[in-house]
Amino acid sequence: MRGQSSPTSLQQGTQNQSTNRTGGNGTGNGTGSNVSGNQSAGNQSDVSERAISELVNLFHIPDEWARLILTLLVIALSWYAAQFLTKTFGRRIARRFRRPSVTRTVLRLMRGVVYVFGFLTILGIYNVKLGDITISLTVFSAVIGIVLAPIVGSYVQGLFVLADQPYEVGDMVELVGRDPPQRGFIEDVTLRYTKIFTFDNTFLVVPNGTMRERDVVNYSAEDPRSRLTLDVLVTYEGDLKEARELIEDSARGVDRVIEGGPDIRIGSARYPAAPTCYIENYADHGVNLRLRYWVREPYKLLTVRSRVQERIWERLDDADVEIAYPHSHVVFDETTGELPVSMRDRGPGAPERGYEGESRAQNTPRTDGDGEERDDVDAGESDEDGHDEGGADTSGPDDE
């Protein structure tokens, strides 16, 4: 009948439709896979190539000029990005760490990351892949390791310096071991070196490895006050109490010297803030007095020390207190004004010679100041009982 279809034809139509749908889906999936592959390839294509093509088409310039312009643009953007990060996060980082050296190091690392990103972008402009560089570094790793070993060691030492905090930017330090000792202010601390602005108006750049191996005196670490010591040797004939008071008063009158106040605490010990003079010891030529006084700032230690010594000299000179010095006393014979010296040859029967070399056996007469002859008796030849070596008694009523 018209308008009726057999079940067989309906089934065949259904199968055809299913086949068509399946084929359509298969075709669609294949097309979608190709599109996805093309999109992935497009995503993996270098963005720099598109930028170069745009520049070439827009300005009608050679490909090399386009790459050069793009390189300069990347360098400029990297520099401005680094400056922007420094200005934006500089204060926050400073408040976070509260140490200028660490703050500067963190900001340098941030700028370094920006510059590395810009460098990789420039490599992409010239179609240089990072894998090629990695292979090259692997081939020459031994040589590069030998060359970079000191540099890497310096960076590691810099990390230790930043972690140990032996000094900070602005501290006054002294490098022990130099002749004369080098003093100055810490200008900058990096991962590779420490820059010191010396009192001679010069910059001293010292590797961090060297700084860790040497003794460094920090005058500004905790307390800017510094203690100085001065030894003064006075004679035994002087008044020690008066000398100590004069020395202490001399130091008090100098500018930048702490005249008094609460005791200064260093660790668990306490020291008087006022200048104090102690008796150190009894030396061969006098009494050694030691003065200890504190200076408010460590910036002019030599000037303060010189002024203190000058005032001590003036005060002791006015008070007739003598400063001792090494010397020797030579005592002559009070009656003749001559120093009896004899020289004896060793051995039996050897003649004895006087201070001018003549033989005592000659018994050469001598005259005193009035021209009269006199007989000298050598004190070294007589014993304690007044007998000389020959047994004759030479003592008399005038002998002491």
**Count of positions (residues) in the chain:** 400
Looking at residue 387, what DSSP letter applies? Answer: B
* CA dist., res. 74 & res. 2, Å (int): 78
* CA dist., res. 248 & res. 245, Å (int): 5
Q: Which of 14-18, 119-123, 151-155, 289-293 tops mean pLDDT?
A: 289-293
* CA dist., res. 120 & res. 99, Å (int): 32
What number is the average pLDDT over the span 207-229? 84
Angle at 237 between CA 233 and CA 239, to 5 degrees: 75
Q: What is the mean pLDDT of the chain?
A: 73
* Close Cβ partners of 23 (under 8 Å, ≥ 6 residues apart): none
Summarised one tens digit per residue, pLDDT across range 340-391 is: 655 555 555 555 554 444 444 444 455 454 545 445 444 444 444 444 444 4
* Two tokens, residue 347: 């051995």
pLDDT of 392 higher than 70:
no
Residue 18: phi, psi to the nearest 5?
-65, -40
Q: Which amino acid is at 342?
A: S
Q: What string of DSSP letters covers 121-156?
A: HHHHHTT--HHHHHHHHHHTHHHHHHHHHHHHHHHH
Q: Which long-range contacts (CB under 8 A, 24 or more apart) does 374-379 make?
A: 376/340, 378/340, 378/342, 378/352, 378/354, 379/340
Residue 355 DSSP SS3: coil
pLDDT grade for 328, boundaries at 50, 70 and 90: confident
* Two tokens, residue 297: 């700032």
* CA dist., res. 196 & res. 166, Å (int): 14
Task: Report the number of secondary-structure helices (H) and strands (E) in the chain.
Answer: 9, 14
Q: How many CB atoms lie within 10 A of CB 347?
A: 6
Place of tokens 């170069």: 52
Q: Which residue has the higher pLDDT, 140 or 30?
A: 140
What pLDDT score does 344 carry? 54
Fold of 226-318: Alpha-Beta Plaits (3.30.70)
* CA dist., res. 273 & res. 264, Å (int): 6
What pLDDT score does 136 carry? 60
* Two tokens, residue 261: 């106040």
Summarised one tens digit per residue, pLDDT across range 23-72 is: 444 434 444 444 343 343 334 345 667 777 776 677 777 777 777 888 88
Residue 72: phi, psi to the nearest 5?
-65, -35
Angle at 361 between CA 358 and CA 363, to 5 degrees: 80
pLDDT of 316 higher than 50:
yes
Least confident stretch, 118-122, 125-129, 189-193, 238-242: 125-129
pLDDT of 395 higher than 80:
no
What number is the average pLDDT over the span 64-90? 85
Q: Which of 79-83, 99-103, 144-148 tops mean pLDDT?
A: 79-83
What number is the average pLDDT over the span 256-277? 88
Angle at 306 between CA 303 and CA 309, to 5 degrees: 150
Q: Which residue has the higher pLDDT, 131 or 9?
A: 131
pLDDT of 313 higher than 50:
yes
Fold of 165-218: SH3 type barrels. (2.30.30)
Q: Enter the pTM of the model.
A: 0.48
Q: Which residue has the higher pLDDT, 132 or 392?
A: 132
Instruction: Give the H/E segment covering residue 312.
Output: helix 301-318
Structural contact between residues 158 and 190, judged by C-beta atoms closer than 8 angstroms = yes
**Pick from 124, 14, 112: which is nearest to 70 by CA?**
124
Q: What string of DSSP letters covers 275-295?
A: -EEEEEEE-SSSEEEEEEEEE
What pLDDT score does 310 carry? 94
What number is the average pLDDT over the span 61-86? 84
pLDDT grade for 6, boundaries at 50, 70 and 90: very low
Residue 278: phi, psi to the nearest 5?
-115, 155
What pLDDT score does 305 carry? 94
Instruction: Give the H/E segment covering residue 72.
Output: helix 63-97
Place of tokens 């670490």: 221
Which residue ranges make up each domain of the chain? Answer: 63-139, 165-218, 226-318
